[in-house]
Amino acid sequence: MIRKFTLLTLLSFFSLQLMGVPFSMIQNAGDAEDYPNADYLVVFDSSRVDVQESGLSYRNYHQLFKVLTPEGAKKLNHLKYRYDPLSAYVEIKKVKIYRKEGTVEEIDLEKVRDYPAPARAIYWGARHKMVNIGNLEPGDAVEIERFMKGFTYALLQDEQPPADNKYVPPMEGHFYDIVEFWNDQPVRKKVYQLLLPKSKELYYKFYNGNVYTSKFSRGEKVQYNFIKNNLKPAQREPHMVATSDIAPKLIMTTTKEWEQKSLWFYNVNKDYGSFEYNQAIQDKVSEILQDANTEMDSISLLTHWVADNIRYSGLSMGEGEGYTLHKGTTVFRDRCGVCKDKASLLVTMLRAAGFESYAAMTMAGSNIEDIPADQFNHSITVVEMSNGEYKLLDPTWVPFNRELWSSREQQQDYLMGIPDGADLMETPVSPPENHFFRMKGSSTLKADGTLEGELTIEAEGQSDAAIRGRFTSNYQSDWDRTMEKMIREISPDIEILEMKYSEPYGYQEENMKISVKYRIPDFAVVTEDEIIFTPVAARELFKNVNYHLRFNPDRKAREYGFRDRCSRLVELHETIQLPDYSEAVYIPEADKIDGSAASFEGGYTLQDNQLVLDETIAFKKRKYQAGEWENYRNVVKLQKKLAREKIILKK
């Protein structure tokens, strides 16, 4: 029954391309009152994908948008589509405007513009097809049909013959697609139709929701249909995981297992000669490793050399750009490249040093679902250690960083391209103590409210990187000003008497250390009867390091998972010599939480004229489930409580 209904729906739906859109469809779709938070409505969004034996796909897209608000009219006054002419072909086939009063205007396709897409850091020749719709009003609708052949993403491809063959995907004979069943505006109906040769098996799964599915035999091909009605806009929560991790999506591929893709990635690199090295690279490796004593010395020195010396800049190098791991010799010569190029050079240099090393693929920022489609946006390096284990290296994310693999990438899926093939794996959680932030203070509070003291800060791992990056991203002439700006987070009235900090570029020698001697006039509020203040170390400082302080703990619940910058250990300690007082009117109570996601232990101890603050806070990973929010937010609340509640002493 569902199958018949779906077939009839598809036949009538795709006939709109031949017969045109009836005005009743637009009028009955709804208006701003029906969609109060939307600027426009996607009345329908259909895709028909015809796959050839080679894996080449011909795609027809048909969409109808209805304007709901003046803001929606602005958003729809032009439509543009990004593509890479070296791997994809795009054609705008028809554009119509349906005016609310009943007239129809067809836009002259001679006015479609094809121009270089704006670019920053990566210049690969991507282009935009844009059609200017012009003035619209609420109630108007825009229909567009476009055609595309080719593919949109992969990390590597061999050179292809001319004509349509250049649009064949890198893993020839295979097909994959990732279909987003979400939008930032409501969608009444979305249809995805796939025609696949019977010689190919399709592996697919729909995530984060349900979809109507049907399957038919059509000659030498199998037709798959996926239909979903009334899609609501994807919701966002502060600091939540990627939209693609929680919104409805369809992932499909003709590749059965990850091992197949792993072996393809290994072999295509091998055949291309990506990691062959020359004498210039061999000489540089020997120079870099002249003081290395262990295998970790060698791995560390080579990783940091590539990270620090290869500028992140992607320049077009001809056909296949954006889909080819450039040879290590090319990257070494040009001293620039993007992630795949930095990974390629590191593999090359490690091999020149005698290591077994390979490239790998990952997805920074979101999950890779367990369907072997190309869900990748980032390339990294793996090296085989003497004990047979593989170690992850990322020269893109660790410039002037004490890590070899950035822990901001923990709990991230990756696939190695190795000779025996590999399954999809996940990067491990990095213990909080690897990323400690320690603040220690010793101060004296005077009777007039002036605070004089000394503060030391020490950081490691990603906490180190967050502080160090404030220096290495600035000119050396601005380093003192950068340091002063950070210290003034304590108080804009602070008088810095002396400040010292580690050599920012000396990251391989020591972790980041900062020491400051200071005076703060009127630090405490002094009345006739009371002295009121909050210790320096208790305050909400260095939020670029202590990222959890950016979270609002008053949010009681979360629907979706969320993410921090990195796992982290925060240790705060301060000893304050107090002026004469008769009694402590109020001191915040000590508290403790020991949870699986986060923990807190801290408070004040008072003895005679000495007040001591101690806090130990641990956030135990980077990505959290929605159910872990209660634990996480309670820990943040306790730290903020000590930061915001005043100590009150009676004079």
State which H helix or E strand residue 648 sits in.
strand 647-650
Given pLDDT bands bounded at 50, 70 and 90, which one contains residue 125?
confident
Cβ atoms of residues 40 and 75 within 8 Å: yes
Q: For the residues 185-198, what does the mean pLDDT come to? A: 98
What pLDDT was estimated at residue 318? 60
Pairing of strands 113-116, 127-132: antiparallel
pLDDT tens, 405-431?
Answer: 999 999 999 999 999 999 999 999 999
pLDDT tens, 498-521?
Answer: 999 999 999 999 999 999 999 999
What pLDDT was estimated at residue 557? 94
Q: For the residues 55-82, what does the mean pLDDT come to? A: 96
Q: For the residues 440-458, what does the mean pLDDT come to? A: 97
Short-list 407, 347, 351, CA closest to 380: 347
What pLDDT was estimated at residue 164? 73
Domain boundaries, the chain: 2-254, 260-428, 433-650
What pLDDT was estimated at residue 230? 96
CATH 3.10.620.30 is the classification of domain 260-428: yes
Tokens (6 digits) for 341: 């190029």
Given pLDDT bands bounded at 50, 70 and 90, which one contains residue 554?
very high
What pLDDT was estimated at residue 571? 98
Q: What is the mean pLDDT of the chain?
A: 92
Q: For the residues 358-362, what does the mean pLDDT come to? A: 96
What pLDDT was estimated at residue 18? 57
- From CA 253, how far away is CA 540, in angstroms rounded? 48
Following DSSP, what letter does each residue of 576-595 receive, concatenated? EEPPP-SEEEE-PPPEEEE-
Q: Is residue 308's pLDDT more than 80?
A: yes
Q: For the residues 570-592, what does the mean pLDDT come to? A: 95
CATH 2.60.40.3140 is the classification of domain 2-254: yes
Cβ atoms of residues 511 and 464 within 8 Å: yes
Q: Is residue 320's pLDDT more than 90?
A: no
In the numeric block, the tokens 């009955």 are attached to 28
Tokens (6 digits) for 156: 């590597």
Tokens (6 digits) for 531: 């002295």
Cβ atoms of residues 332 and 280 within 8 Å: yes
Given pLDDT bands bounded at 50, 70 and 90, which one contains residue 124?
confident
pLDDT tens, 207-257?
Answer: 999 999 999 999 999 999 999 999 999 889 999 999 999 999 999 999 999
pLDDT tens, 620-630?
Answer: 999 999 999 99
What pLDDT was estimated at residue 323? 56
Q: Is residue 90's pLDDT more than 80?
A: yes
Q: Would you call 531 helix, strand, or coil by DSSP?
A: strand
Following DSSP, what letter does each residue of 386-431 receive, concatenated? TTS-EEEE-TTT-TT-S-SS-GGGTT-EEEE--TT----EEPPPPP
- From CA 105, how far away is CA 140, in angstroms rounded? 11
What pLDDT was estimated at residue 235? 86
The values of phi and psi at residue 623, to 5°, are -110, 140
Given pLDDT bands bounded at 50, 70 and 90, which one contains residue 489?
very high
Given pLDDT bands bounded at 50, 70 and 90, which one contains residue 10?
low
| Residues 433-650, CATH architecture | Sandwich (2.60)
Q: Which residues neighbour 76 within 8 Å (Cβ) at sequence distance 6 or greater?
A: 40, 65, 67, 133, 136, 142
